[in-house]
Amino acid sequence: MGAPDFDAVRGYLLDLQERICATLEACDGAGAFREDRFEGEGGTLARPRVLEGGEVIEKSAVHFTHSRGASLPPAASERRPELAGAPFEAVAVSLIVHPRNPYAPTSHANIRFFMAHPASAGEAGARSEPQASEAQNWWFGGGFDMTPYYGFEEDCVHWHTVAKAVCAPLGDDAYGRYKKWCDEYFFLPHRGEPRGIGGLFFDDLDTPDFDTCFAFARSVGDGYLQAYIPILERRKLTPYGDRERDFQLFRRGRYAEFNLAIDRGTKYGLQSGRRVESVLASLPPLVRWRYDWRPDPSSAEERLTQHFLVPRDWLAGG
């Protein structure tokens, strides 16, 4: 079904970054992404883009990276111990959107592709990077998830309807597997609660073949905008006051806790020596913590954790 085509994945992700940034700028209507560019040997590239202080989007980061390394970082080889220390090449788009309006949810998406050459692992000085034609291991990872601050059934149903549809290239059972994985991964064990309402999460995807896996990765990347933009457009002008804003900042604290303490992507970025400003650009611009604060019983704020931040089948009407 075709050998892995690193250049094709790279080209798709560069275009995906362009399309997502253009769509988010149009939705905001005023803000624009700032781009930094860091080029390395052999075509490697880091192209982080950040929008801050927009009318609709308080902060968004949409990063493209193409990297090579002599040793696969622990966060990337955690599920593939046989590749620990292997030279690798990777390409990815990772993004986060933190809207200004508390009724508009935060969203996150990531598509990544790795190629590694374990035969060179431990060969000091033999080579510092894998050659794509020789790579014996490749895999895709990524997904998308959504974190509301005030929950709406129709938003959750729409989000998961798109999530299920984008899994078509892998068959009928893929959505159930990757939804469950997402619920389990985006979970704060120290809080005993999910980060949001989930979506899709997958990693180490290399079967049945490259063409099928790449088609699925493209479906996820393209599906993110289909899933998120209608929700952002629906909620971005909802009236709100100090109470809603205060709760949004409080709940953003949970988001920051996950990214800093648990997220493999953050750990990978720091372990691989990437620019710290880029790695931590996913953090919200403003956050608030309170000591042992709890929402009023039967309030919309309590309903978030009691009804929405509970893993369930959003497409079953329950």
Given a contact cutoff of 8 angstroms between Cβ atoms, the answer to whether 205 and 213 are in contact is yes
d(CA 23, CA 270): 29
* C-beta of residue 23 within 8 angstroms of C-beta of residue 49: no
Specify whether 108 is catalytic.
Answer: yes
CA angle 156, 148, 313 (to 5 degrees): 30
Q: Let me know: does 16 contact 142? Beta carbons within 8 Å.
A: no
Q: Which of 46, 20, 30, 97 is nearest to 283 (CA)?
A: 97
Q: From CA 56, how far away is CA 30, in angstroms rounded? A: 8
Q: Which of 63, 66, 98, 108 is catalytic?
A: 108
Whether the upstream peptide bond of residue 230 has omega within 30° of 0, thus cis, is: no
Place of tokens 């970054």: 17
Active site residues: 108
